[in-house]
Chains A and B, each alone.
Chain A
């Protein structure tokens, strides 16, 4: 582990975590995204939520490849919970 940590510093810390404010904003947007489905029927709303979740995971992977570690669990949980709340 020490060797990996030394290597990380030698490469100028290639993996970065966005600031807390940015992470919270992303989670907030994920929670509010299901509002887009309010005017859709349940099936279309479900498809849209899945598409948003999938799109977010793709974006996260791209960001990770670029050296950033965006939040994953909180936005997805927020998106799912808000989607269920909206559907109900």
Chain B
């Protein structure tokens, strides 16, 4: 075989090998980004416990947001509840409030999402449960969200929590849309199609690092120190300002 032809043959083989390697790596990476591929949720039990706020205090927060002058468009409570939560003042506040989205990261053995205020809260018109979890990529960074998370594989790091709570899991949340989807459904008053977030999830368009979105302290809210015009007509998310998950803009 002439040298030139032999060289070309080697070049072709090397190029094919390189191309195959890169494409296989990209396919593998794409597959790992697809929803339901076994990522571990990052809502650790310790983080959830740190969010514990009494129902009475939450009721006061809802009342502040329901005030005639304030009147938020949708109230989002990103405060996971316990299975025994029940408080009449909280339920009364929910009943008088504009649409409320309650976040759940666990479900009962019967599949019902565990939310603040318990199952009684979900019987109130205008109150809906949502899946408050995100599905991070393999590197632990949250870049996307889905319409629904289609499986439950977060129990690897939640075993201790399961023991404490008597075997709760998140399997029932497969039927519950994620928090942003429920909020939009409450705003527009109709269901969103399941493909609204695309086949691989919708990429979150982060406005900037933590603190870019207007934040007010919970204490200021419940003590009525937030001007009504700062709330009126807005979607208000009541929850932790320090994220449990990393985003592409999180400082390492």
Residues of A within 8 A of B (CB): 1-11, 13-17, 20, 23-24, 27-28, 31-32, 34-35, 38, 69, 71, 74, 77-78, 81-82, 85-86, 88
Contacts and interface: CB of A to CB of B under 8 A. Distances in A.
B38 interface: no
B26 A6 contact: no
A81 B20 CA distance: 11
29 contacts: A1-B134, A2-B239, A4-B207, A4-B213, A6-B180, A7-B207, A8-B145, A8-B202, A8-B203, A9-B181, A9-B184, A9-B196, A9-B202, A10-B187, A11-B205, A13-B196, A13-B197, A13-B198, A13-B202, A13-B205, A15-B203, A20-B27, A28-B19, A31-B15, A74-B22, A78-B23, A81-B18, A86-B11, A86-B15
Interface of B: 11, 14-15, 17-19, 21-23, 25-27, 29-30, 76, 78, 103, 132, 134, 142, 145, 178-181, 183-184, 187, 192, 196-198, 200, 202-207, 213, 235, 237, 239, 243, 245, 247
Given A6-B183, A8-B145, A8-B203, 10 more contacts: A3-B235, A8-B204, A9-B192, A13-B203, A27-B23, A31-B18, A34-B15, A71-B26, A74-B29, A78-B23
A6 B27 CA distance: 29
Contacts of A69: 203
Contact of A3 (B14, B145, B237): B237
Contacts of A6: 76, 179-180, 183-184, 235, 237
A88 B11 CA distance: 8
Contacts of A34: 15
Contacts of A35: 15
Contacts of B213: 3-4
A82 B18 contact: yes
Nearest to B244: A1
